[in-house]
Every structure is written in structure tokens, then in C-alpha cells.
Structure 1
């Protein structure tokens, strides 16, 4: 939990940022320093290293060391799948969270945690910072979970499937036993698949032992590290089920209220910087891994047919309409997100997509 130590670094930082003395709280010249504990659902890998750890490093930098964050791997501070609950209960001061793990509480989490009809990485960032996404996210987190949300990372587009069976068309989904999570676990059955939700620790063995026909997990970088291409002969792309997701660094309300307003603003700033760092970091990792998969993996890479793309689009819209019918938060966020995505259509007319030249 919180540890306070006295320091005199606040004045130097504020002047260096050009804030001036008027911007400082009354106690800033002898401000307390804080060590915050951060729970995560990640036992290792890029979401821990590039994600949670990067946010902690940025916070320490922008606060001149006044705020330090001790990052705990999955399970060492509360349950790996219940980071939000761990923060709510004060077991951890804050958490590095993914909305998909709050799925059982509110389906609105999928709109931030990645879903088949959702934004890609760039679109998520534009919706958050050029649209109403950030405001809606904060209001939703506070209203439903009573925590403070700071978006702090945008994830990669995932690989659609590592599979023992070829999946190219809607017909290929019929009877497929698929390990997945969040919205896709309810949308894929509309197309004939049978879905199974398993924790991350069981995904590899389930695919290896053919408990499931196929799995989805992450992007090329994370999946290459996991070795899925070595145990299943087919890799399906692109990631229709999750074009991207956003992680948030959630803070216990009581802890947040003890942090001076100026430092609260710096924690928010660190979130924006971490968004950029994760966007660039995951893209670099995924591109290198994708090249390696093409060059050295024995798995066959398959681009799904447009008929499957359209079928997923239709099923996702149907699912979203069902959720909107009896969930006011879902309806509010979904309609705003959909309208913003529609407003971006001109981008494809006057600029090249990354890698498209």
C-alpha cells in the first residue's frame, strides 16, 4: 500500500515544466513521495514489459521520482483475473487492467477491451483523445467499478487463430471448438463455432493436446514467444475478432484522493505517453515476429476470405444491438464509438495505410 517519504523535488519539476509557482499545491515545496503497488494479470511477456513496466518508468520520470510504482506479476498481488477487484478492495493501490477480464460484470468492457466491430490501434487513440472515448471510459469505470481509469496502452491487432483446421470461410467455423474470451466468445457461436474460455496458463496445453481445435491469444510477437506455431499447422489472419484493445491503469479511489492534483495530472500525462510507447513497441515486436514466422515457421499462413470478414461484421453488429437493448452504458459507448469510426472514413481516401505502399 502507500508509503510516504518527504522530498523537495516537486518545485524543481514544476519549474522545469514551466508551470510556475502558482501551479503548485500549497505543500509542493516539501511534497510527499509515494510508492504505489500495481497488480497485473501478466506473468511475463510484452504486456508486462512494454506495457505495465513502461508506465511505471514514465511515471517515475515525469514526477522526478516522487511517485514510484512497484509492478507485481500475475497472482503475486491478488488474483490474475481479478485485478479490478484487487484494486477496488485496496489490496493493491492500482492495477494494469484489461477490460476483457471484467466481462462478467459489464459487457461494456468489450468496447474498450477489443471486439470484432471495434477500432484498430490508431482508431482507438483517435477516439480516446480526439473524440469522447476518454471521458466515457473514465465515467464508466467510476460508475460501475468505483475506480479511477487512466488509459495507458494500446495493444496490437491479434492473429485470428492458430488452428489444427483451416478456417477461411464462414462454413469453416461450423462445429469448430475455439478457445477465446470477451465478446468473441458470444459472437463466434452465432457463426457456428463452439467457444471455450480458458485462462492464459492453459491455452498452450489445450491447443497442443487438441482439447480445442483453435485458439486466439495475441499478436505475432506474443504468439511467437508462446510457440503456438509449433503445435498447430495453420495461422489465420487478420485478427477479425480483436483489431486492437486498450489497457488502463486503474487507481483505488482512496489512493487517488491522497495524490496532489498536479501529480494526478502527471499520472494522466504518463498514460498518454505510455499509449504512444506501447503502440510503437508492440508494432516493432509484431513486425519482426511476423517476418520470422514467414521465413522459418512450418505453419501455413492463411488470409481469410472476404465472406468471413462480412459474416463477422454482421454477427458483431447483431450482438452489439442485443447488448444495447438492456445495457445503457453499452448503448451509450457503442453508439459514440461507432459514430466516431464512421467519421474516419475519409482517412482511407487521402492517406496510405501503414505498410500499404
Structure 2
């Protein structure tokens, strides 16, 4: 004779089974590591296809074992001192531009990009195929006590969004411009009056007339902060910044807690995000100048004399730094040796066409 359990027992069994299953699912979904990420950005592409994209990529690649909570600039510390915030353990990770630390060690700008840098394609090859990533990791750990990988990369920036037309060396004399990194010194040599400030302060300063002009990012990146709304002139090309690799910094204690598999997930996510950012920016930059013209901006191309002068100043500055700084000399020569390998690359890569 078949004995059927009472309905209430079946319901009870089902409830217990569901509870156990729910606990197991929750445990599977709980990340093994939850890291706070400090950034220098209030929003825009640096946040959306940089820091936040990395957080999504690393969570997916690690199968949910690593979760990164991204904070806007200033939320966890000074937006210009993200590496310090991370080293001190206020945040386990950070997204920054290494050039902000140039005052502590000017060798940071060789990794971060400056007026003497190669273009973005060559920089990417140097980083990932020429040994730059390994050199960057060694430098940051030895000199700053943090783990470092490239994360996000810019193509050439806009030279200036300006309230005044700028085309030649005379136009730069006394120009109050916001910038950062080693270009502060170089811009002075060109005759400008540069200042630096965190990204979130740039728009109001430009709007109030506290500065005449600002550099920030590439044509597309500069749409989001709205500089074109308060500055009529868009000055190109960005001779001060032919490329700008950004950086993932990681607290050493947090890094040590990761398994080898998860360390690899972090490296892979950072590289993927960097390559994806380069592709996206390149595509969107192609549309941006037309956008500025539609908004009533005037596009001005710098005279060749300004471009040549900026490059000459940058190379002389780099040579001077290399004489006084062992790390600078090492990284500069490493990068220059790589670029010499690419000498003449345009002759076998670029096919001339009629437009």
C-alpha cells in the first residue's frame, strides 16, 4: 500500500530545500574580494569606459570573485593624489593619471605621456609588446609602493578650449591656462601662465574667466564636460599630449590577498579595458570636431612653429631630467630605443590614396 505524505510535510520539505538552495546561490554570488576604487573623475569617458568598464570586466572575467566599487573623484581622498590614497589603504584600487605624481618623481610622465611621447599606437606597442608594462610595474612598486598597470589610453588631446584665439607663439604669451604634469613647466617656456586643478574645477574656472583656456582630453572626451559651451575656440592638435595612458593602482596588501588566477583576471581586465577605450575614443574623435563646429565653435590649427617648439622644449626637458634621475634615464632610453625600431614605419604601413 502506497503511503502518501501529508501536504504540509511536502510544503515544509520544499521550503527547506528552497532555503538551502538560496543560501548556496547567495554564497556563490558573494564576491571573495570587494575593493573600493578611488578615481580622479566626476564622470565622462574616463569614468564610463575607464574605471566603471574595468569594474565590469574584472567581475566578469573573475566569475564574480572580484567586485570593484567605483567612487568619483574626491570621495575617498584628493582627486590628484589617488596613488597616495591607495598606498595608505583608504581604497584598495585607484584609477588615475600617473603624471599627477610628477612632482615626486618626474619619470612618471614618460609612462603617462608628455610632449615628447610617441603616438598612441606606438605607446600601446611599447607597453604591451616592448616591455613597458613590466617596467611600469617595477617603477611604481619600487618608488611609490603600489602595484600598477595601464588602464585606459587617450589618443592626441585637444591643445586648448580657449576664450581667446591661439595659433602662434605670440598668442600664448601670458595665457592663463589649466594643465597638469610636466607641461606646467614647458608651457611656461612657451610664454603661457599655467595653473593646475582637479578636473571638477575646470569648467567653473573657465566659465568665470579665472582661466583663459584649458586642456583636458581628446575631442570626444571634451564634449562631456562641456568646455565648448563656455569657450569659443578649439585649438588643435594636442602637441603637449600626443598620448595619455592612464593607470590602475592597487594596494600591495590587497594585491597579496588575490590568488594567481585572480591576479591574472585583474591584469587581463585592465588590458582589455585599455584596448577597448583606445578603439572607442578613436572612433568618437572622428565625429567630434564636426560637433564642435555645429555648436558654433571655431577650430584653429596651431602654426607649425608652435608644434616644433613644443617638441624641442619637451626633448630638452627630458634630457635634463635624465641627467638627474636614474629612473627617468632608464625609462626614457627604453622608450626611445623602442621608437627607433619604428623609425620609417609609415613608409611600409601607410598607403597613399587620393581623397
Structure-1-length-normalised TM-score: 0.87
1:308-319 residue pairs with structure 2 within 5 A?
A: 308-319=306-317
Alpha-carbon offset, residue 354 of structure 1:
12
SS in 2 for 1:225: coil
Question: Is the CA contact 1:103–1:182 (under 8 Å) kept in the aligned structure 2?
Answer: yes
Match of 2:340 in 1: 342
Which SS does the other structure have where 1:150 is aligned?
strand
Name the residue aligned to 2:151.
152
1:80 corresponding residue in structure 2: 79
For 2:184 and 2:31, the matched residues in 1 are separated by: 46
Is there any run of 5+ residues in structure 1 with no aligned partner, and where? 10-30
**Contact 2:31-2:64 within 8 A present in 1 as well:** no
Provide closer, same or farther for how the CA distance between residues 54 and 355 of structure 1 changes in structure 2, counting only shifts above 3 A: farther
| Mapped partners of 2:332, 2:354: distance in 1 | 29
Question: 1:262 corresponds to which residue?
Answer: 261
Q: CA deviation at 1:252?
A: 0.7
SS at match of 1:285: helix
Report the CA distance between 1:256 and its aligned residue: 0.8
**Are 1:92 and 2:107 counterparts?**
no
Give the C-alpha shift of residue 104 in structure 1: 2.1
C-alpha displacement at 1:143, in angstroms? 0.6
**Structure 1 residue 91: Cα displacement:** 1.0
Secondary structure of 2:328's aligned partner? helix
**Equivalent residue for 2:250?**
251
> Max radius of gyration: which structure?
2
Query: Alpha-carbon deviation of 1:227?
Result: 2.1
SS of residue matched to 1:222: coil
Question: Which residue is equivalent to 1:235?
Answer: 234
- How far is 1:99 from its partner? 0.7
User: 1:25 maps to which residue?
Assistant: none
Question: What is the correspondence of 1:182-261 to structure 2 with a 5 Å cutoff?
Answer: 182-261=181-260
Which residue matches 1:128?
127
1:18 counterpart residue number? none
Q: Kindly state the Cα deviation for residue 78 of structure 1 after the two structures are TM-superposed.
A: 2.2
1:159-193 Cα shifts (integer Å, max 9, x gaps) = 00112222222232222222111111111111211
Partner of 1:290: 289
Please state whether the residue corresponding to 1:178 is helix, strand or coil: strand
> Residue 177 of structure 1 aligns with which residue?
176
Kept in 1, the 8 Å contact 2:148–2:248? The answer is yes
* Mean Cα deviation higher: 322-331 or 225-234: 225-234
The yes-or-no answer on 1:35 pairing with 2:30 is: no
Cα distance, 1:353 vs. partner?
Answer: 8.6
Give me the whole-angstrom Cα distance separating, in 2, the residues matched to 1:225 and 1:8. Answer: 38
Relative to structure 1, the CA distance from residue 355 to residue 322 in structure 2 (aligned partners, 3 Å threshold; closer, same or farther) is farther
Runs (5+) with no aligned partner, structure 2: 1-24
Which deviations, in whole Å up to 9, do the C-alpha atoms of 1:27-51 show, x marking residues without a partner?
Answer: xxxx982111111111111100100
Which residue does the alignment assign to 1:66?
Answer: 65
Aligned match of 1:332: 330
Residues in 1 aligned to 2:202 and 2:91: alpha-carbon distance in whole angstroms:
27
What does residue 28 of structure 1 align with?
Answer: none
In structure 2, what is the Cα distance between the partners aligned to 1:331 and 1:47? Answer: 30
Could you tell me how far 1:147 is from its partner in structure 2? 0.8
8 Å Cα contact 2:34-2:68 kept in structure 1: yes
Asked whether the equivalents of residues 39 and 70 of structure 2 are also in contact (C-alpha less than 8 Å), the reply is yes
Cα pair 1:124 1:154 within 8 Å, conserved: no
The separation in 1 between residues aligned to 2:201 and 2:262, in whole angstroms, is: 40
Partner residue in 2 for 1:303 = 301
> Which residue does 1:45 correspond to in 2?
44
Residue correspondences, number: 331
Question: Offset of 1:62 from its aligned partner?
Answer: 1.1
**Contact 1:41/1:81 (<8 A) preserved:** yes
Contact 1:6 1:33 in 2 (8 A): no
| 1:134 alignment partner, SS class | helix
Q: Normalized against structure 2, the TM-score is what?
A: 0.87
Question: Secondary structure of 2:300's match?
Answer: strand
Paired with 1:348 and 1:91, the residues of 2 have a C-alpha distance of 46
After superposition, the Cα gap between the structure-2 partners of 1:333 and 1:7, relative to the gap in structure 1 and judged at 3 Å, is farther
For residue 97 of structure 1, report the CA deviation from its aligned partner.
Answer: 1.7
SS at match of 1:223: coil
